[in-house]
Chains A and B, each alone.
Chain A
Amino acid sequence: MTTYIIRRLLLMIPTLLGMTFMLFAVVRFAPGLTTSGGQVSGGIMQSRQAQKQEQQIMERRLHLVDKNGHPINLAMQYFLWLKSTCEGHLGTSLVYQEPVLTLIEQRLPVTLTINAIAMAVIYLVSLPGGLITALNQGRFIDKGYGFFSLALYSLPVIWLGSTLLGFFANPQYFNWFPSAGLHSTNTGNMTFFRYIADYLYHIVLPIVCSVYGGFAFLSKQIRGSILENLQQDYVRTARAKGLPESTVLVRHVFRNSLLNLITLTGMSLPGLLGGSVIIEQIFSINGMGRLAYTSTLSRDLPVIQDLALVGSVLTLLCYLAVDICYHLADPRVIYD
């Protein structure tokens, strides 16, 4: 196993190099200029002379030109970026004037907390949902659950988010939840428990938007996996041994069915850090999704590049973690 992990880690190097090259090329050849100065509000432009000076600063910071203003060729630009990334310097945002790592530090906890809660809710609903529907295959509860979860799956987030906001955070209909942000304005006067309750109250609508689409996918996976395992010989053996049905289902069938979940969970981990652009925009949450979105619009190249790079590295690591988890969960899986 150790040899396998080392081999995989070594293989990651060329993959990562390829990724950095692609990222660099995509970002550098995208049309448009960095527009931190020209805030686009109703299409109003800023002074052009100012924009020009701005452009010169941007070019210097992006290593497009050297200290004397002479252009640096593309290959050199790529190596300069790669060098500083390898040294652990993730670059500085052109717009925020702060290191990209600091920006990630500020926004990651927001996104991570919401996504972790959302993921927990999805699993809490989908696992029993999948189990119940599998055990009641073809019955009303199976068909009803399948219908509703698929119907939810097909609803676009942007529509449901705006609808929830328009009805459940609107004093004209049901003023049950706040319409924006993660906290009330006067949190300074709140005790600890009140503060937590205030936070949970604020994230109800964003969490609803984050979870509803996940039920169908996960439940169907679990249902399929359970149905497959129920046909296996070991289930018949367990029943023949006289084990109670609940033990057969929970200890044998359900546990074995969870193996498929390792892949699903592993693949969804990088997404935990990404954040949803749409949900964060609708509910005015300052998370990673909004950072990626605003950086793309303002062509904040270091942020776009580094966010994509962090995402790529995490994905690679998660793939490796999934493989290792498979081995741990099922000792029959051997890679060496």
Chain B
Amino acid sequence: MDNRFTLKDFIFTVLLLLIIGAAVMAMAQFNYVNKQVIALSGQIKTLNQQQLDQTQILQQILRHGLKLQSGKVRGTTASQKDIRETLPDGTHYVCYPNPPMLPHNPYSRPDYARGDWLVENLGENPHTLTPFVSRDEGASVVQGWVQESLLSRDPITLKWEPWLARSYRISPNGLKITFKIRRRACFSNGHPVTAQDVLFSYNTMMNPGVDDAPQRVYFNDVKSCRAVGQRTVIFTFKHPYFKSLEVVGGLSILPESVYQFKKAGEFNKRGRLLVGSGPYLFDKWTSGEIVLVRNPRYWGPLPTFNRIIYRFIQNPQAALQAFLAGQLDTDPPEPSQWIKYTKQPGFAKSHHCYKFLTPAAGYMFVCWNLKKPEFKDRLTRTALCMLVDRNAIIKTFLHGLAQPMTGPFNPLSPQNNPKVKPISYDPAKARALLQRAGWKMGTDGILQRNGKPFKFQILLPSREPLIQNICVYMKQQFAKAGIDMSVQPLEFSVMIEKIDNRQFSSYFLGWSGGIENDPYQIWDSASYADKGSNAGDFDNAQADKLISQGRREMNTAKRMAIWHKFQAIVYRQQPYMFLFTSEALMFINQRFHNTAPVGKYGPLEANWFVPAKLQKYQ
């Protein structure tokens, strides 16, 4: 065995040291370059700030109607008032010469300052950011800062107001909507928003090769879209439909110059291309975050934050801890976390804590399969509802942070009929109703009708512990009345397959919400066939008639009256056991000001700001 340090060993050692030295030197060089880049980016930021100030001055000149004439600055008194009127021929006309400012906007507050970053959590990393093609909620949150539509919804009145459009006009029969686009509106690349861009966006949406089938469904009633000149777009419809304005007015407008494609497949695959006319630019998307930066060319009121960053923290515990450590600026806590932290002395003082209901929130329900003999009659279904104490569910499982539902419409939505009162928890009355429905107690302690015991299975998604707990409670309640309910948790996709194939007695799920929903999808008898959403087979001629009337009624007040009648029928029939809608919860870092919920949308990030002294990031 040769233990000497030979020449070969010496050469190897020298080589190794040389490699290590080279690596260290390369890193040091890289570090030096990095420092230079950071210094340069600081200078670029200063330049951007100067550009921002100039844009702001220009916008103020435009907003206050100042005109430069013969070298002098002169104010004009042009009375450019907002118009919202119905003309004698029945045409509905709305015109806003200036884009509407958000209610409670912070611009006039003495401590208002631009700057700082807003760091929020998106939960799951979005699959794609391609407009129309993306499906997840996170993607739509990001797109909401970068892309805009012709109209926007007022958070207080919930009415659609002109945004990229200066005005819109709905024909008396509701079959034609004409939009006029603002002159000032432009995309972040400097190109003006034109009628051609709206037409391009519509054509992209309707292109069968584009993977946007779920959204395209809503445009089925659009007959044509026509661009007239640079700034006028006319949409015509096959039938009058109350959601027509929302559907076309809410369409994201894409710049044709950026998104044009030859094959639809090209459009689908541009998952990282996001350009629009919105207040922020899409900067980068790494494995840990999405970064948006302020659009210096924005045509509307200049946005407050220099950057908006979305991180992807799926674990609610980790997200809350990141919020507490200042790594996130907001956090929507779980109900249990809300109770724990808001009880702590000092927490509420050092953080903004908000809980609120929004009309867009969905609701949870139990669907009965009305084709099964045990659920065929209304009395039995009403009795089942009386056996479950929904207030106790809300208090015990949701810590009181929810509201009971009295039908398929959110309590805050104008669709909701406040006269419909919730069926109260009354086991004695429920037993009487079951008796009237023909159920008699068997020798085994289980109710029977026509020799068949009252036994059924409820399907529920296996990854939802809240739903599982509620089902266990319901099982106990039903057992007391002699009803045997077995609980079957299933993986979500398997459960959906069973519901589609109508292989269920009952299932527990939720529907996502909307400010004004079209009940056709879930409640019309025609929606049972072909794996439609009326899985329980609710079939009521009067309800069908009201749905048909409501969908074609363009007058909001008359339509709401129809929906109110419809809701009363549905609640009386109890095809679902309507359970609750959860309140939204939000913790916000104390350095943000003007964060209080606005109208029915909850806190609006666009209204928030950080006073100069409290700003954390440059």
How far in angstroms is the closest Cβ of chain B from A46? 7
Instruction: Please report whether the interface of chain A is mostly helix, strand, loop or mixed according to DSSP.
Output: loop
Q: Cα distance A192–B491 when bound, in Å?
A: 45
| Interface residue? B38 (CB, 8 A) | yes
Residues B213 and A179 in contact, CB atoms below 8 Å apart:
no
What is the bound-complex CA distance between A117 and B494, given in angstroms?
Answer: 39
What distance in Å separates the Cβ of B117 from its nearest Cβ neighbour in chain A? 7
CB <8 Å contact, A166 and B317: yes
Which residue from chain B places its CB closest to the CB of A34 in the assembled complex? B493
Contact of A186 among B128, B521, B617 (CB under 8 A): B617
B322 touches A (CB below 8 Å): yes
A284 to B271, CA, bound (A): 22
Q: How far is the CB of A100 from chain B (nearest CB, A)?
A: 13
Distance from B496 Cβ to chain A, minimum over Cβ atoms (Å): 6
Contact flags (1/0) for B317-338 with A, using CB distance below 8 Å? 1110110110100000000000
Indicate whether A40 sits within 8 Å of B214 (C-beta atoms), given known contacts A45-B512, A169-B318.
no
Selected from B217, B314, B364, B618, the residue in CB contact (under 8 A) with A50 is: B217
Per-residue interface assignment for chain A, residues 105 to 136, with 1 indicating a CB less than 8 Å from any chain B CB and 0 otherwise: 01100100000000000000000000000000
Whether A73 sits at the interface, judged by CB under 8 Å, is no
A178 touches B322 (CB 8 A): yes
Q: Is A182 an interface residue (CB 8 A)?
A: yes
Q: Chain B 24-53, CB within 8 Å of chain A: the 1/0 string?
A: 000100110011001001000000000000
Q: Are A43 and B510 in contact (CB under 8 A)?
A: yes
**Contacting B321 at CB < 8 Å: which of A96, A97, A170?**
A170
* Stretch of B90-98, B130-138, B146-154, B254-262 that contacts chain A: B130-138
- Complex CA gap A95/B136 in Å reads 10
A49 to B271, CA, bound (A): 24
Q: Is the pair B27, A193 in contact by a Cβ cutoff of 8 Å?
A: yes
Q: Is residue B492 contacting chain A, with contact meaning CB distance below 8 A? A: yes
B532 touches A49 (CB 8 A): yes
Among the stretches B10-18, B119-127, B242-250, the one at the interface with A is B119-127
Q: Which residues of A contact B510 (CB under 8 A)?
A: 42-45
Q: Check if A188 is an interface residue, CB within 8 A of chain B.
A: yes
**A281 contacts B315, CB within 8 Å?**
yes
B313 within 8 A of A: yes
Q: With A and B bound together, what is the CA distance between A270 and B119 in angstroms?
A: 36
B531 at the A/B interface (Cβ < 8 Å)?
yes
Report which of A48, A96, A180 forms a contact with B319, defined as CB distance below 8 A: A180
Bound complex: CA of A191 vs CA of B617, how far in Å? 17
With contacts A96-B127, A107-B287, A282-B315 known, is A171 near B35, CB below 8 A? no
* Minimal Cβ-Cβ distance residue in A for B327: A178
Asked if A2 CB lies within 8 Å of chain B CBs, one says no
- In the complex, whether A231 has a CB less than 8 A from a CB of chain B is no
Is there contact, CB below 8 Å, between A294 and B309? no
Question: Which stretch in B79-87, B226-234, B461-469 binds the other chain?
Answer: B461-469
Contact B324 A171 (CB under 8 A): yes
Task: Determine if B497 is an interface residue (Cβ-Cβ < 8 Å).
Answer: yes
Is the pair A49, B533 in contact by a Cβ cutoff of 8 Å?
A: yes
A53: chain B residues within 8 A (beta carbon): 213-214, 216-217
User: 1/0 per residue A43-64: CB within 8 Å of B?
Assistant: 1111111111110110000000
A85 on the B face (CB < 8 A) = no
Q: Are A180 and B512 in contact (CB under 8 A)?
A: no
User: CA of A296 to CA of B498 in the docked complex: distance in angstroms?
Assistant: 19
B527 proximity list for chain A (CB < 8 A): 48
The 8 A CB mask of A170-186 against B (1 = contact, 0 = none) is: 11100100111111111
**Taking A44-B512, A48-B531, A53-B214 as contacts, is the C-beta distance between A97 and B137 under 8 angstroms?**
no
Q: Which residues of B contact A41 (CB under 8 A)?
A: 137
CA distance A53 to B211 in the complex (A): 10
Chain A residue numbers with a CB within 8 Å of B30 are 192
User: Contacts A36-B127, A37-B214, A97-B133 known; A192 to B34 CB distance under 8 Å?
Assistant: yes
A33 within 8 A of B: yes
Q: Confirm or deny: A154 has a beta carbon within 8 angstroms of a beta carbon on chain B.
A: no
Task: Tell me the complex Cα distance, A301–B289, Å.
Answer: 26
Closest to B284 in A: A188
Q: A50 to B512: give the CA distance in the assembly, Å.
A: 14
B124 neighbours in A (Cβ, 8 Å): 294
Any A CB within 8 A of the CB of B511: yes
Residue numbers in B under 8 Å from A57 (CB-CB)? 211, 213
Choose from A42, A165, A166 the contact partner of B464 (Cβ within 8 Å): A42
- Give the residues in chain B near A38, CB-CB below 8 Å: 492, 496
Contacts of B312 in A (CB 8 A): 181, 284, 286
A48 to B322, CA, bound (A): 36
CA distance A184 to B533 in the complex (A): 44
Q: Are B533's CB and A31's CB within 8 A? A: no
Which residues of chain A are within 8 angstroms of B364 by Cβ–Cβ distance?
Answer: 42-43
- In this complex, how many residues of chain B approach chain A with their Cβ under 8 Å: the count is 75
Q: Within 8 Å CB of A33, what residues of B? A: 493, 496-497, 500
Can you list, as one digit per residue, whether each of A289-306 has a CB less than 8 Å from chain B (1) or not (0)? 000001001110000000
Interface string of B499-542 (1 = CB under 8 A from A): 01000000011111000000001000001001111000000000
Closest to A189 in B: B38
The yes or no answer to A283 lying at the interface (CB within 8 A) is yes
Contact A35 B31 (CB under 8 A): no
A63-91 near B? 1/0 per residue, CB < 8 Å: 00000000000000000000000000000
B494 contact from A32, A37, A49, A110, Cβ within 8 A: A32
Considering only residues 274-315 of chain B, those with a C-beta below 8 Å from chain A are: 287-289, 309, 311-315
CB neighbours of B1 from chain A (8 A): 243, 247, 251
Cα–Cα, bound, A182→B30 (Å): 21
Is the beta-carbon distance between A110 and B287 smaller than 8 angstroms? yes
Cβ of B414 under 8 Å from chain A: no
Q: How far is the CB of A39 from chain B (nearest CB, A)?
A: 6
CB neighbours (8 Å) of A179 from chain B are: 313, 317-319, 321-322, 325, 327
Which among A95, A165, A184 is the interface contact of B127 at CB below 8 angstroms? A95
Contact A106 B287 (CB under 8 A): yes
Tell me, yes or no, whether B189 is within 8 Å of chain A by CB. Answer: no
The answer to whether B117 and A185 touch across the interface, beta carbons within 8 angstroms, is yes
| Of the residues A31, A170, A191, contact of B324 by C-beta under 8 Å | A170
Task: Decide if B491 touches A97 in the complex (CB within 8 Å).
Answer: no
- Whether A228 sits at the interface, judged by CB under 8 Å, is no
Measured between beta carbons, the chain A residues less than 8 angstroms from B119 are 185
Q: Is B184 an interface residue (CB 8 A)?
A: no
A162 at the interface (CB under 8 A from B): yes
Asked if A330 is an interface residue, CB under 8 A from chain B, the answer is no
In the complex, residue of chain B having the shortest beta-carbon distance to the beta carbon of A42? B510
Q: Does A96 contact B128, Cβ atoms closer than 8 Å?
A: yes
**Could you tell me if B497 and A32 are in contact, using CB atoms closer than 8 angstroms?**
yes
Whether the Cβ atoms of A171 and B325 lie closer than 8 Å is yes
Chain A residue with the shortest CB-CB distance to B498: A31
**B315 surroundings in chain A (CB, below 8 A):** 165, 180, 281-284
Determine whether A245 belongs to the interface, using a CB cutoff of 8 Å to chain B.
no
CB-CB < 8 A to A186: which residues of B? 117, 617
Q: B268 at interface (Cβ–Cβ under 8 A)?
A: yes
Q: Per-residue CB proximity of B368-393 to A under 8 Å, as 1/0?
A: 00000000000000000000000000
A95: chain B residues at CB < 8 Å are: 127
Q: Is B611 in contact with chain A by the CB < 8 A criterion? A: no
Q: A44-B511, A185-B311, A286-B287 are in contact. Are A39 and B136 (CB under 8 A)?
A: yes
Judging by beta carbons under 8 Å apart, are A48 and B327 in contact? no
- Contact yes or no, A97 B325, CB < 8 A: no
Chain B residues whose CB sits within 8 angstroms of the CB of A193 once the complex forms: 27, 31
A299 to B495, CA, bound (A): 13
Q: A45-B496, A192-B34 are in contact. List 16 more A-B contacts (CB 8 A).
A: A33-B496, A42-B362, A46-B135, A48-B531, A49-B521, A54-B214, A96-B127, A162-B317, A165-B318, A178-B322, A179-B317, A180-B319, A189-B618, A193-B31, A283-B318, A286-B287
Nearest 5 CB-CB pairings of A with B: A50-B214, A32-B493, A53-B213, A48-B533, A179-B321
Q: Please list 18 pairs of residues, one from A and one from B, whose beta carbons are closer than 8 Å in the complex, sorted by A's number.
A: A33-B493, A35-B492, A36-B135, A37-B214, A42-B464, A45-B511, A48-B500, A48-B533, A53-B217, A54-B213, A93-B127, A97-B128, A171-B324, A180-B322, A185-B119, A185-B327, A192-B34, A243-B1
